Amino acid sequence: MSTENDSTGIVAVLGVGRVGTVVARSALRAGYSVNVASSGGADRIALLVDVAIPGARATTAADAVRDADIVVVAVPLGKFRSVDPEMLVGKVVVDIMNYWPPVDGHLEDFDGDASSSEVVAQHLGRSRLVKTLNHIGYHELEQDAAPGASQRRALAVASDDEDAAGQVATMIDRFGFDPVIAGPLSAGRRFEPGTAIFNDAFTRSALEAELGLSAIAQA
Amino acid sequence: MEIGIYSFGEVNQYSNGEATTDVGKRLDGLVSLARAADEGGLDVVALGEHHRPDFAVSAPEMVLATMAAETERIRLTSGVTVLSSQDPVRVYQQYATLDHLSHGRAEIVTGRGAFTESFPLFGYDLNDYDELYDEKLRLLLQIREQESVTWSGRHRPSLDAASVTPRAAQSPLPVWVAIGGNPASGVRAGTLGLPMLIGFFSGTEQFVPHVQLYRRAAEQAGHAPDALRLGASGHMFVGKTSQAARDAFFPYYSDYIRQMGLTGGAPLPRRAFEQSIERGLPVGSPQQVIDEIMKRVELLGITRWLGQIDVGNLPFGMVNDSIELFMTEVAPVVRRETAA
Ligand SMILES: NC(=O)c1ccc[n+]([C@@H]2O[C@H](COP(=O)([O-])OP(=O)(O)OC[C@H]3O[C@@H](n4cnc5c(N)ncnc54)[C@H](OP(=O)(O)O)[C@@H]3O)[C@@H](O)[C@H]2O)c1
């Protein structure tokens, strides 16, 4: 399974809803091998994957992540505890989830000031968590993608693990966006719902300025 | 091709104070909108269901019943009935009654709901979001087929040869599945062989896979292709010219998006607004709106378009101008172009 396309790697996407299907298609287009899973068995999503994500492999969550280089968690935030932390130990994991009360209802876990990813990180304690892809509408992930272009849309990447952030940044670049390393996971607060970054689109330099990273350029 | 409007009956306010926050006035306004749509030859009026203080309509069937008395031929539908947190027996009774009052013009558009405030209100668990909808939709369909219903499930007491009356005037009473962006919802609608209403604002191309899924699932379940039917719905504003429409609509739309909490507290930037128009939001001159509807016809194969005519509780004057242009300059052209 891991033999084909090894030069680019394997992306597993957990959740094949609005966001998961688009992320999986982006990963296929970027040359990754893609495994996808929902909370149940493979046959429940077989038709969906066949039609909406042709080329991806539908399987169970545990099987999808086993040999994956990057795992994208695209389940509703209220269900994050249903993702088994054991299978993600040591894995590079992208947290794409947002706390969105009109849809999620009130979730006590996320009442505090911390970034939602810091809360998710407590659950997925031993994985290498990276927050990104959350501040772009799922439809824009395909519409705004411009692989190789200059002046394209930039996406912020936050993680306490620099190497993991780098691997995910490479994936973002292959998806057709400029990755901007925003800092540790706590910096994720700056691109969550309610922030200027969340509500608009930015090029690299504008995003760096929004994130307060352009001190050197200004000096 | 059927062309119509829908409303959520918002009662939000703007800093210029121009919107109506009086529930009674807002409901009167909706009924007169339905009358205008009926007289102007539109085919459908739909009403959403929300359970929040910034919306006047939590019981759309009540408002639709009033509309039934004031109109002659327009079809009257929910948009959507949040079936997950309702009792399908009661929903059927209400719409069967509406069907008689309107002499066969009622329809039910069911959905899982984009907002979730009805779950705690009626004592349901948001964790059962999908399962609730699935179970209740199947029960509603069974009730539609049989007057005497024997049923058991997880989320409602069992029914033992229960008689559900009155029976609707139409046979069958139309029941639609509304979907947002989740592809699995397309599979469900197809498997059940029900008409599907796709709600979105821009990015029509993205829904091509949903339609393919719908058709494939229907085929696998043995439903004939010509028994299937597609519609689309979304925000809409028609102005005399492209620029006039954008300029008039933007301040309200931007602030409304903020008020809905869709941006987490910030107004929608103008740039993002312009971009969503470029990507298919039907806001602009009559010709632009025609083009957007036709794009949905061509790419998705829809035979029903519903525009949210007063999105964000737009001031009455703007709604009246927009619906007038919609009825006189948009609808006739779309009908002509789809008639062939
Ligand atoms: N809307 C946007 O543009 C946008 C953009 C970026 C990020 N987000 C965030 O992305 C997240 C996902 O949103 P969405 O709209 O895609 O949700 P969605 O359409 O409801 O899809 C969620 C998917 O997750 C699956 N799932 C649930 N529990 C699972 C588990 N334990 N393992 C694997 N799969 C599981 C669900 O299927 P089953 O329940 O059938 O298993 C479903 O396929 C949310 O937190 C949202 O805030 C949204």
Average pLDDT over residues A46-57: 97
Q: Apex CA B177: angle with CA A135 and CA B44, to 5°?
A: 100
Nearest residue to B136 via CA among B168, B175, B187: B175
Confidence of residue A219 (pLDDT cuts 50, 70, 90): very low
Locus of tokens 């007491």: B157
B273 lies in a domain? no
Most ligand 1 atoms within 8 A of CB, residue of A13, A18, A142 to mutate: A18
Q: What is the CATH number of the domain that holds B78?
A: 3.20.20.30
Q: Distance between CA atoms of B106 and B97, rounded to whole angstroms? A: 9
| CB contact A39 to B (< 8 Å) | no
A129 lies in a domain? yes
Phi, psi of A10 (to 5 degrees): -120, 130
> What Rg, from alpha-carbon coordinates, does chain B have?
19
> What's the predicted TM-score (pTM) here?
0.94
Between the CA of B319 and the centroid of ligand 1 the distance, in Å, is 36
User: What pLDDT is attached to residue A214?
Assistant: 75
> Which atom of ligand 1 is nearest the CA belonging to B130?
39
* Domains: count for chain A: 1
User: What pLDDT is attached to residue B114?
Assistant: 79
A4 lies in a domain? no
| CB contact A210 to B (< 8 Å) | no
User: Range with the lowest mean pLDDT among A6-10, A123-127, B237-241, B257-261?
Assistant: A6-10
User: What pLDDT is attached to residue A5?
Assistant: 44
Torsion sign, CA atoms B31, B36, B38, B44: negative
First CA to last CA distance, chain A: 50
Q: Distance between CA atoms of B320 and B323, rounded to whole angstroms? A: 5
Locus of tokens 């992320």: A23
A219 lies in a domain? no
* Range list of H helices, B229-315: 242-259, 270-278, 286-300
With 50 as the cut, is the pLDDT of residue A22 above it?
yes
Q: Which domain holds residue A143?
A: 10-211
B271 lies in a domain? no
Longest CA–CA span in chain A (Å) reads 57
For B124, name the nearest residue in chain A, comparing CA atoms only. Answer: A105
User: What pLDDT is attached to residue A216?
Assistant: 55
Q: What is the CATH number of the domain that holds A19?
A: 3.40.50.720
Confidence of residue A180 (pLDDT cuts 50, 70, 90): very high
What SS3 class is residue A35?
strand
Nearest residue to B114 via CA among B208, B186, B200, B56: B200
pLDDT in tens, chain B (340 residues): 999 999 999 999 999 999 999 999 999 999 999 999 999 999 999 999 999 999 999 999 999 999 999 999 999 999 999 999 999 999 999 999 999 999 999 999 999 887 888 999 999 998 888 899 999 999 999 999 999 999 999 999 999 999 999 999 999 999 999 999 999 999 999 999 999 999 999 999 999 999 999 999 999 999 999 999 999 999 999 999 999 999 999 999 999 998 887 666 778 889 989 999 999 999 999 999 999 999 999 999 999 999 999 999 999 999 999 999 999 999 999 999 999 7
> Which atom of ligand 1 is nearest the CA belonging to B181?
19
Q: Distance between CA atoms of B79 and A166, rounded to whole angstroms? A: 45
User: What pLDDT is attached to residue B265?
Assistant: 74
For B190, the token pair is 């197809």
* Virtual torsion, Cα B142, B144, B148, B150, nearest 10 deg: 20
With 60 as the cut, is the pLDDT of residue A4 above it?
no
A15 lies in a domain? yes
* Domains: count for chain B: 1
Residues of A in contact with B184 (CB under 8 A): 16-17, 45, 48
H helix or E strand, kind and range, residue B62 = helix B60-70
Instruction: Determine how β-strand B159-163 pairs with β-strand B148-151.
Output: antiparallel
Nearest residue to B46 via CA among B12, B11, B95: B95
User: What pLDDT is attached to residue A194?
Assistant: 85
Q: Distance between CA atoms of B66 and B101, rounded to whole angstroms? A: 9
Q: Distance between CA atoms of B126 and A104, rounded to whole angstroms? A: 8
Total Cβ atoms within 10 A of residue B268: 19
With 80 as the cut, is the pLDDT of residue A116 above it?
yes
What SS3 class is residue B211?
helix
Q: Apex CA A27: angle with CA A25 and CA A28, to 5°?
A: 65
Confidence of residue A2 (pLDDT cuts 50, 70, 90): very low
> Which atom of ligand 1 is nearest the CA belonging to A139?
3
B270 lies in a domain? no
Yes or no: say if B300 and B226 are a contact pair by the CB < 8 Å rule: no
With 60 as the cut, is the pLDDT of residue A6 above it?
no
Confidence of residue A7 (pLDDT cuts 50, 70, 90): low
Q: What is the 3-state secondary structure (H, E, C) of B83-128?
A: HHHCCHHHHHHHHHHHHHHCCCCEEEEEECCCCCCHHHHCCCCHHH
User: What pLDDT is attached to residue A181?
Assistant: 98
Name the DSSP class of B140: H
Yes or no: say if B62 and B76 are a contact pair by the CB < 8 Å rule: no
User: What pLDDT is attached to residue A215?
Assistant: 60
Average pLDDT over residues A85-95: 98
Yes or no: say if A91 and A68 are a contact pair by the CB < 8 Å rule: yes
B148 lies in a domain? yes
Between the CA of B6 and the centroid of ligand 1 the distance, in Å, is 28
Q: Distance between CA atoms of B193 and B230, rounded to whole angstroms? A: 11
A98 lies in a domain? yes
Q: Which domain holds residue B101?
A: 2-265+279-339
